[in-house]
C-alpha cells in the first residue's frame, strides 16, 4: 500500500516543493491549506514542476491558529512534514504575531499526529534557531548549537519564533510525544527555481536585486540552500531510521554577501544586468535610520556578521548532496525571468 504523507502549508515555496518531491518518489500526499481557494494555487505549482495532479494529491482545510481540521488532516497519514509557519518580509508590530502561530501551530500538528498514530513528524525549523545570539564564532555552527535568546543582543521576531517553536516541539516529544518520532530540518536562506508567485523572502531579495531596485546594498552575508535540496532533505529525514530525534542543518557552501550576490546576478544577466547596483550603504547610514525603521532596527546586528553553518551531519548520515550555492542562486534568477510576461 502506498504510504500517505501530510504536508502542512502546501501553497508555500518550500511546501509545494516537498509535495513535488514526495509525489515523484511515489507517495500519496494530503496537504493543508487555509481556504479551499488555495488548493488551485497548490495544483498550479505542482503542475508547473511537470507533474500531472491526480488522486495522489488531496487537500484538508486547517489553520495554525485553530484546533479545527487537524485531526481530519492527519488521519491515515504515516508521516507529517510540518512546513507551515509565518515568514513576513518585515518586522511585525508585535513579536507574538509570529511567535504564537509558529509555536502553537507546531504543537497542534504534533498533538494531532500523535493522536492519529503517525510514525514521524519532520518539522521545518531554520538556521534562525541555531546561529543567533552568539559571540562571533570562528567555527561553523552545527546542530548542537541553539540560538541564545537571552544573550542581551537584539534578536528579531522571526528568529525568536523559529527558536521558540522548535524548542516547544522537542519539549512536547520528550514530555508527551508517546511513540511519535521527531526530526527537524534547519535551512539557511532558501532559493531555487520558483513554481509561481508565492515564494520565500530570500527569493524576494534576489528579485529585488535582479530588478535593480536596491541602489545601495547593506553589508550583510547569508547562507544559501536550494529549495529542491530542502525538499529532498525532508524526505530523507522522514524515512531514514537514524534521523529520528535529530536536527539537520541545510546549507550549501559558504555564505554570500549582498554585494557578491549582486555581482553574480549582474554577470549572469549580461547587458540587462547593468541596472544592478553593487555599491554598499555605509553602516552609519543604517544606524542613523534605525530609530525610524523597525525593519532596519531588527537587522542592525547582521551588519558585517558572517554566520557559517555546516551540513556535514546531513551528508554523513543521510547521504544528502546539495546543489552548489551559485547554481541555486542563478536557477532562482532564471526562473523569475521565465515568469515575466513577454
Catalytic residues: 162
Residue indicated by cell numbers 561553523: 140
Q: How far apart are CA 26 and CA 31, in angstroms?
A: 16
Buried-exposed string 164-173: b where 16+ CB fall within 10 A, e elsewhere:
bbbbbbbebb
Q: How far apart are CA 167 and CA 164, in angstroms?
A: 5
C-alpha cell at 316: 554523513
**Angle (CA) 145 147 149, round 5°:** 145
Q: Can you name the residues that pair with 5 across neighbouring β-strands?
A: 29, 79
- Beta-carbon contacts of 274 under 8 Å, excluding residues fewer than 6 positions away, are 266
Asked whether 227 and 322 are in contact (CB, 8 A), the reply is: no
Asked whether 306 and 221 are in contact (CB, 8 A), the reply is: yes
Nearest to residue 11, comparing CAs of 51, 49, 46? 46
Burial degree of 277 (CB within 10 A; 0-12, 13-18, 19+): middle
**Structure letter (DSSP) for residue 184:** E
Burial degree of 3 (CB within 10 A; 0-12, 13-18, 19+): middle
- Beta-carbon contacts of 306 under 8 Å, excluding residues fewer than 6 positions away, are 221, 255
User: What beta strand segments (E) does the chain contain?
Assistant: 4-8, 28-33, 57-61, 79-82, 120-124, 181-187, 189-191, 221-222, 224-226, 247-250, 256-257
Amino acid at each position: 500500500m502506498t504510504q500517505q504523507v501530510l504536508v502542512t502549508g502546501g501553497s508555500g515555496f518550500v511546501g509545494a516543493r516537498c509535495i513535488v518531491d514526495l509525489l515523484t518518489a511515489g507517495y500519496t500526499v494530503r496537504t493543508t491549506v487555509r481556504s479551499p481557494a488555495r488548493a488551485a494555487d497548490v495544483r498550479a505549482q505542482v503542475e508547473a514542476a511537470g507533474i500531472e495532479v491526480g488522486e495522489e494529491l488531496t487537500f484538508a482545510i486547517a489553520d495554525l491558529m485553530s484546533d479545527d481540521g487537524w485531526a481530519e488532516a492527519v488521519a491515515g497519514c504515516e508521516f507529517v512534514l510540518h512546513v507551515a509557519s509565518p515568514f513576513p518580509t518585515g518586522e511585525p508590530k508585535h513579536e507574538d504575531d509570529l511567535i504564537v502561530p509558529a509555536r502553537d501551530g507546531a504543537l497542534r500538528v504534533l498533538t494531532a499526529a500523535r493522536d492519529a498514530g503517525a510514525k514521524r513528524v519532520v518539522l521545518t525549523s531554520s538556521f534562525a534557531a541555531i546561529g543567533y545570539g552568539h559571540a562571533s564564532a570562528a567555527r561553523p555552527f552545527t546542530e548542537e548549537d541553539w540560538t541564545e535568546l537571552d544573550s542581551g543582543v537584539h534578536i528579531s521576531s522571526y528568529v525568536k519564533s523559529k527558536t521558540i517553536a522548535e524548542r516547544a516541539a522537542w519539549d512536547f516529544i520528550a514530555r508527551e510525544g508517546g511513540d511519535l518520532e521527531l526530526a527537524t530540518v534547519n535551512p539557511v536562506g532558501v532559493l531555487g527555481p520558483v513554481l509561481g508567485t508565492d515564494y520565500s523572502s530570500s527569493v524576494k531579495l534576489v528579485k529585488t536585486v535582479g530588478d535593480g531596485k536596491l541602489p545601495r546594498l547593506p553589508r550583510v552575508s547569508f547562507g544559501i540552500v536550494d529549495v529542491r535540496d530542502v525538499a529532498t532533505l525532508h524526505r530523507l529525514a522522514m524515512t531514514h531510521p537514524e534521523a529520528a530525534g535529530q536536527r539537520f542543518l541545510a546549507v550549501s557552501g559558504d555564505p554570500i554577501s549582498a554585494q557578491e550576490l549582486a555581482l553574480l546576478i549582474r554577470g549572469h544577466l549580461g547587458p540587462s544586468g547593468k541596472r544592478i547596483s553593487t555599491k554598499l550603504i555605509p553602516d552609519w547610514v543604517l544606524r542613523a535610520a534605525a530609530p525610524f525603521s523597525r525593519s532596519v532596527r531588527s537587522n542592525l546586528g547582521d551588519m558585517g556578521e558572517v554566520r557559517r553553518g555546516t551540513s556535514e551531519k546531513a551528508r554523513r548520515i543521510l547521504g544528502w548532496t546539495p546543489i552548489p550555492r551559485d547554481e541555486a542562486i542563478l536557477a532562482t534568477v532564471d526562473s523569475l525571468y521565465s515568469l515575466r510576461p513577454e
